Amino acid sequence: MLKVNKIEVKYYGVIQVLSDVSIEIPDKRIVAILGSNGAGKSTLMKSISGLLHTENGEVSDGEITFNGKRIDRMKIEDRVKMGITQTIEGRMVFTHLTVEENLEAGHYITGKKSPFAKDCETIYSYFPRLRDLRKNVAGYLSGGEQQMLVIGRALMTKPQLFMLDEPSMGLAPIIVREIFNILQKMQKEQGLSVLLVEQNAGAALSIADYGYIMENGKIALEGNVTDLKNNPSIKEFYLGIGKQGEKIKYGEH
């Protein structure tokens, strides 16, 4: 579905952040991008969604194609209309609007081709808590509830490719497990392709089909999830399994 082919990304035309990066996201699969802070994960995602342009960044070499069509020179809104949706780091809800009004903002992008109430019920079926909070102002929700709302609002746009940037950030392990389990269920039932950028490798690899490891603006390693989980470096540096075989419990790192 999506191909990133040897892209180079620069900010302000001079600061190079990504170099020779290539990834593929197959149809109806979950792909994880792992790496430490500053590795270039978010920049890669913004290159795909178009948000890079809002930060004086550009794809200065290479190309990105979606369903065979080049998109790296397209406007953000045109990419959304093609079916590409991104949630950005930090749970950016419309704080002064209610839960249901936030969902309506996502639904607006679809051109109201399907009934709003029906689409809301779909979201509420995955996140029953949002139904109970639908008249509440979003700014007063907990961190986990806001993340559920952000995911729900993004799904209201009817995406083919759903990209999430650090959805586990700042959340308790039990909430992370809940959200990732729901995300996996939604992906299967809705037939989505998902690109998941995460520092929580344990959570990401628990639902992904394939993964890429980024370091210093480049792809350092890639493989299917089983191979990555068995890689000694991934075990030690990302999954918390030391040389003696001790394991940090899920969610503690």
Q: What is the pLDDT of residues 130-153, one digit of tens each?
A: 999 999 999 999 999 999 999 999
* 252, pLDDT greater than 60: no
Query: Tens digit of pLDDT for each residue in 86-116?
Result: 998 777 899 999 999 999 999 987 666 778 9
**Amino acid present at 202:** G
Residue 249 lies in a domain: no
Residue 243 lies in a domain: no
For residues 69 and 71, what is the distance between their CA atoms, to the nearest angstrom? 6
Domain membership of residue 140 as a residue range: 2-237
- Give the closest residue to 25 by CA, choosing from 8, 50, 9, 49: 49
Q: Could you tell me the two tokens for 39?
A: 């590795």
Report the C-alpha dihedral over residues 17, 51, 156, 165, rounded to 10 degrees: 20
Query: Tens digit of pLDDT for each residue in 20-68?
Result: 999 999 999 999 999 888 899 999 999 999 999 999 999 999 999 999 9
Percentage of the chain with pLDDT > 90? 73
- Looking at residue 36, its pLDDT comes to 85
Interval 117-139 mean pLDDT: 95
Supply the DSSP string of 132-156, one letter for each residue. HTTTSBGGGS-HHHHHHHHHHHHHT
For residues 29 and 180, what is the distance between their CA atoms, to the nearest angstrom? 14
- Looking at residue 146, its pLDDT comes to 95
Residue 252 lies in a domain: no
Are 225 and 191 a contacting pair, CB within 8 Å?
no
- Give the closest residue to 28 by CA, choosing from 141, 161, 117: 161
Are 126 and 188 a contacting pair, CB within 8 Å?
no
Residue 122 lies in a domain: yes
Q: Return the CATH number at 80.
A: 3.40.50.300
Count of structural domains within the chain: 1
For 237, residues 6+ apart whose C-beta sits below 8 A from its C-beta are none
Residue 129 lies in a domain: yes
Residue count of the chain: 253
For residues 127 and 129, what is the distance between their CA atoms, to the nearest angstrom? 5
Burial degree of 183 (CB within 10 A; 0-12, 13-18, 19+) = buried
- Looking at residue 241, its pLDDT comes to 58
CA 184 vs CA 16, 28, 118, 120: distances in Å:
34, 11, 21, 19
Residue 127 lies in a domain: yes
Give the predicted TM-score (pTM) of the model.
0.88
For 111, residues 6+ apart whose C-beta sits below 8 A from its C-beta are none
Residue 245 lies in a domain: no
Classify 66 as helix, strand or coil: strand
* 244, pLDDT greater than 70: no
- Give the closest residue to 155 by CA, choosing from 133, 123, 181: 123
Q: What is the mean pLDDT of the chain?
A: 89
Q: 170 in the Ramachandran plot: left (φ > 0), alpha (ψ -120 to 50) or beta?
A: left
For residues 165 and 196, what is the distance between their CA atoms, to the nearest angstrom? 6
DSSP code at position 98:
B
* 253, pLDDT greater than 90: no
Residue 28 lies in a domain: yes
